């Protein structure tokens, strides 16, 4: 399908040191029409407490913007913010936080048609620029819902460097997942006699390559943070251009979704779950996982299932569930005959390496 008339790109992408201190100048340079418009800041209470000074500075820079703390990353929460935005004639939503905040603020902006400015405090996944929000619907069930990508993305490299390393590792995992996702996308295209969107494919591939082949191995260095920020944003744009999450989400994501849906007690971040899933996915795809394994070792990304309480039985069950967790999603899992002894071998290899 030709999507070329259907995509939006952010107007502004700033990845700078201390960018949060002059976010108003950055945004007004690109979107002058928002000057003087009523603005709301969406964040989370613990972040408002940690970054009190920064967030209140941003609030005063944007005309005394009200600061709202979300209590959940739910559909209802996004709708209630959108309702407030519409009723109070608010024109700009600034999301300051991690994936939960950004997904909620992004969806609230989508339904209220407000300008959305995304200001991540960590790089835990590609939600900062993706055309989707993952929101809780009924209880803990989460749904991925299409929405408009941000109008502006401002990454303050100092904020990201100060964030817990686990968050950055999670962002690395979500970027590296593209290796197996792109394989599955091509496989799906071949099975359905369709084509992958070449430009979206190239963007996602470059996003992956820029991190995978990055010479800078220090997670706290500005160079690495800049590369990772842009890689995550490019992944988001690839999804926007493709009109689907396929460039960034394949069988490794199905594995992560199976954890979320069937084993919610297992505490593992999205990015680490997809990183863990990418090793078996690679093997199912008959690619060698050695490159990924040594890459994860280099950055200290722990993909050992035991670390997260995933036993051999759970591991095998997760792969069975992964195949059906998103009906209609064609991937290598659709044609993999699971063999319990092979799954056990993969599990043990991951535990031992």
Residue 90 or 102: the one with the smaller Cβ distance to Zn ion is: 102
Question: Which residues in this chain contact Zn ion in the complex, by CB under 5 A?
Answer: 174
Strand partners, 144: 134
User: In whole angstroms, how close is the CB of 125 to Zn ion at the nearest point?
Assistant: 5
Cα–Cα distance, 232 to 238 (Å, whole number): 10
Go through 39-64 and write b for each residue having 16 or more CB atoms within 10 A of its CB, e for each that does not. Answer: bbbbbbeebbeebeebbebbbebbee
- Cβ atoms of 53 and 18 within 8 Å: the answer is no
Residue 197 or 252: the one with the smaller Cβ distance to Zn ion is: 252
Cα–Cα distance, 331 to 174 (Å, whole number): 17
Residue 273 or 316: the one with the smaller Cβ distance to Zn ion is: 273
Residue 144 or 344: the one with the smaller Cβ distance to Zn ion is: 144
Measured between alpha carbons, how far is residue 344 from residues 244, 258, 277, 297, 314 in Å? 33, 18, 14, 21, 11
Q: Minimal CB distance to Zn ion: which residue?
A: 174
User: In whole angstroms, how close is the CB of 129 to Zn ion at the nearest point?
Assistant: 12
Cα–Cα distance, 96 to 42 (Å, whole number): 6
User: In whole angstroms, how close is the CB of 301 to Zn ion at the nearest point?
Assistant: 15
Residue 14 or 275: the one with the smaller Cβ distance to Zn ion is: 275
User: In whole angstroms, how close is the CB of 253 to Zn ion at the nearest point?
Assistant: 6
User: In whole angstroms, how close is the CB of 245 to Zn ion at the nearest point?
Assistant: 8
Residue 174 or 240: the one with the smaller Cβ distance to Zn ion is: 174
**DSSP codes, 207-249:** HHHHHHT-S---TTSHHHHHHHHHHHHHHHHHHHHHTSSTTT-
User: In whole angstroms, how close is the CB of 134 to Zn ion at the nearest point?
Assistant: 9
């Amino acid at each position: 399908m030709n999507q070329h008339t259907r995509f939006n790109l952010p107007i502004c992408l700033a990845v700078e040191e201390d960018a949060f201190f002059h976010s108003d100048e950055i945004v007004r340079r690109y979107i002058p029409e928002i000057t003087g418009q009523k603005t709301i800041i969406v964040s989370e209470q613990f972040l408002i407490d940690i970054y009190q000074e920064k967030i209140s500075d941003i609030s005063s820079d944007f005309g005394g913007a009200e600061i709202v703390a979300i209590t959940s990353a739910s559909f209802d929460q996004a709708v209630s913010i959108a309702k407030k935005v519409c009723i109070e004639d608010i024109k700009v939503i600034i999301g300051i936080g991690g994936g939960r905040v950004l997904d909620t603020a992004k969806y609230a902006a989508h339904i209220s048609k407000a300008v959305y400015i995304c200001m991540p405090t960590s790089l835990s996944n590609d939600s900062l620029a993706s055309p989707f929000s993952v929101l809780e619907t009924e209880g803990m069930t989460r749904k991925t819902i299409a929405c408009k990508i941000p109008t502006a993305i401002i990454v303050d490299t100092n904020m990201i460097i100060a964030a817990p390393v686990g968050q950055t590792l999670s962002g690395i995992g979500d970027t590296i997942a593209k290796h197996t996702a792109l394989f599955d996308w091509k496989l799906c295209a071949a099975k359905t006699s369709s084509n992958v969107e070449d430009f979206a494919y190239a963007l996602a591939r470059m996003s992956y390559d820029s991190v995978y082949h990055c010479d800078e191995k220090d997670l706290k260095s500005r160079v690495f943070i800049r590369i990772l920020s842009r890689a995550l944003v490019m992944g988001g744009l690839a999804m926007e251009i493709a009109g689907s999450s396929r460039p960034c989400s394949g069988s490794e994501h199905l594995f992560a979704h199976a954890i979320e849906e069937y084993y919610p007690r297992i505490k593992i971040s999205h990015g680490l779950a997809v990183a863990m899933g990418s090793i078996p996915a690679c093997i199912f795809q008959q690619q060698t996982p050695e490159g990924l394994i040594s890459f994860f070792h280099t950055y200290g990304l722990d993909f050992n299932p035991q670390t997260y309480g995933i036993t051999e039985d759970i591991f095998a069950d997760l792969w069975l569930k992964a195949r059906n967790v998103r009906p209609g999603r064609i991937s290598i899992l659709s044609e993999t005959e699971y063999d319990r002894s092979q799954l056990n071998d993969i599990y043990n290899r991951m535990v031992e390496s």
